[in-house]
Amino acid sequence: MVDTKVDLCGITLDNPVIPASGTFGYGYEFAELYDINCLGTFSFKGTTRDPRFGNETPRIAECPSGMLNAVGLQNPGVDKVITEELPKLAEVFHKPVMANVSGFSVEDYVYTTELLAAQEQVGWLEINISCPNVHGGGMSFGTDPCMAADVVSAVRKTTDKPLIIKLSPNVTDIAGIARSCEAAGADGISLINTLMGMRISLSSRKPVLANTTGGYSGPAVFPVALRMVYQVSKAVSIPVVGMGGISSAEDVLEMMMAGAAAVEVGAANLTDPFASRDIVNDLPRVMEKYGISRLSDIIGASH
């Protein structure tokens, strides 16, 4: 019998599989398809202080081995998330949930984090300082070590709950930014968010996305994500949540050997709504295949 349990910032997960923010809604939508309590947890849709319609359409573009998205943080705003979305989630999900927080100023992050951290259902706050699909804020905080540290220091004062900072791969020194976040009080790091990309229509000779650029995700980014998780997990002493192109139980093991304490599954949920469930179900078989009795034993094994 294998042991799939892992620890993430002091909270035990039944397994390390976490659907990524923006690919799993607020959870209850997927609960119509299967019992989502089989998951370790999930990171709900990126939430901002005020409601956001998001970017103009088209927002999605197909790519080889992946996709581009420029949704632009569409969400109903933190107040409605608390009064409408979380009560519906509580009916179908009985574990701590990860709240994903986005903002356009330090004050935005503080306001939204404080409100979400006060919710009993919320176990972790994933602070997204890396969204490439919005103008102003977002990724600009995640590309500068000092600005990243400013956000972390400010939200740290609002809660004792674990803060996991979501980083952008669109930088030259991701390990340096991770160290700045750790020094400012982060309890964990999650990475990678999407890579910047674009497509051009040959018929119109214009960008396919209304936003011109978008975030590239899917299996093609896995080697890049793996390399960055490896680098960051060696650079910091806090847990790392790895994501980027994960679509199988084998990918989960590889990402954990690179140093991830848990993993997030993103684009795979958009092509197959049962992807995360199937990865969870397949983990014991793949662990036995490679002689792994406890998942926690392989974290950082490649170091």
Q: Could you tell me if residue 208 is inside a domain?
A: no
* Number of independent structural domains in the chain: 1
Q: Please indicate, yes or no, if residue 186 is contained in any of the structural domains.
A: yes
In a domain, 61, yes or no: no
Domain around 234: 6-54+70-197+217-298
- Whether 125 maps to a domain, the answer reads yes
In the predicted structure, residue 148 carries a pLDDT above the cut 80: yes
- Does 169 fall in a domain? yes
The model scores a pTM over 0.85: yes
Between strands 97-101 and 122-128, the pairing is: parallel
Cβ 193 vs Cβ 264: under 8 Å:
no
* Tens-place pLDDT, residues 251-265: 999 999 999 999 999
Structure token digits, residue 300: 């950082």
Single-letter residue type at 295: L
At residue 15, does pLDDT exceed 50?
Answer: yes
CATH code: domain of residue 281: 3.20.20.70
Q: Report if residue 255 sits inside a domain.
A: yes
pLDDT digits (tens, 9 = 90+) for 112-124: 999 999 999 999 9
Q: How many CB atoms lie within 10 A of CB 226?
A: 23
List residues with catalytic annotation.
131
Q: Is the pLDDT of residue 29 over 80?
A: yes
Closest CA to 189 of 18, 8, 4: 8
pLDDT at 142: 77
Between 34 and 56, whose confidence is greater? Answer: 34
Angle at 104 between CA 163 and CA 102, to 5 degrees: 35
1 within domain boundaries: no
Q: How far apart are CA 133 and CA 8, in angstroms?
A: 28
Residues 169-203: tens digit of each pLDDT: 989 999 999 999 999 999 999 999 999 999 999 99
User: pLDDT class for 140, splitting at 50, 70, 90?
Assistant: low
Dist CA 255 CA 80 (whole Å): 35
DSSP-assigned states of every residue in the chain: --B--EEETTEEESSSEEEPTTSSTTSHHHHTTS-GGGSS--BPPPB-SS-B--SPSP-EEEETTEEEE-----B--HHHIIIIIHHHHHTT--S-EEEEE--SSHHHHHHHHHHHHTSTTEEEEEEE---TTSSSSTHHHHTSHHHHHHHHHHHHTT-SS-EEEEPPSSSS-HHHHHHHHHHTT-SEEEE--PEEE--B-TTT-SBSSTTS-EEEESGGGHHHHHHHHHHHHHH-SS-EEEESS--SHHHHHHHHHTT-SEEEE-HHHHH-TTHHHHHHHHHHHHHHHTT-SBGGGGTTTT-
Please report whether residue 138 resides in a domain: yes
pLDDT bin (cut points 50, 70, 90) of residue 133 is very low
